[in-house]
Structure 1
Amino acid sequence: MDLQLLDFDCSEDPEGVVCWDALAQPQPRHNGALLQEVAQLLAWAHAFDAQGPGPLEEGAHWDFDLQATLCLEGSAPQTGHLIIDLQTGQITLPAADLAHPLTLSLSLSGTSGFAQAFREHWGAP
């Protein structure tokens, strides 16, 4: 399965931890599809290891950071974290009108086993 809206840059450290970073700024009409793609990706990660995300140095297999900036007309950009429910695969942006420009950043990191499964499933670098 290939990702349509997220384009990742990949890096790996000497201990085998892999990190993917993506920055997306779609046309507002694609905001919903972008959030859905991110939700599917994170739901997949949770299914890979239902223990959930956490610090890799403490034994977790994967972790992530997801942030969004919404640009509303006539006001400064509003930055905040999205509300994510890994169980249901739902992502919401509080008090946001998705008809406005959205910038989303996602960093996903994982162990070598997670990285291999991620690459095989998502076709990521």
Structure 2
Amino acid sequence: MADAAVPSEKGNLSRRPTGAKSEPPAALMCFSFQVEAVMQPVFFVMAILGCGDGSVDCTEARMVPARYETMAKCRADLANRIAANTDVPYPVIGADCRRMGAQMVKTERKPTKG
């Protein structure tokens, strides 16, 4: 009787005599790999920046407690938020809109041969 390579429970190949009547483990009977991810919306936040003279060496001073649906909506609110945050102890105050939220990519994974 000849030997044949068959997948083991760990996904490795092992030798088993051909003609053997044993069933493969239940985990090996279905090779369907699906990735299901909960998609969370992307949103934008604004950071108030404190900068040195000439708008150099900027540092995040605080985050604005608001979320924006789009980058355009965040940028439209920049002047208002800078005006509301003049208490930041830097010579120059700026703001920056940033993308936040989980970003997931769906990929299909194929079983590997070992």
**Smaller-chain TM-score bracket:** under 0.3
- The two structures have a TM-score, normalised by structure 2, of 0.25
- Specify which structure has the bigger relative contact order, considering alpha-carbon pairs within 8 angstroms and separated by 6 or more residues: 1
**Comparing both structures, which one devotes a greater share of its residues to helix?**
1
- Larger Cα Rg: Structure 1 or Structure 2? 2
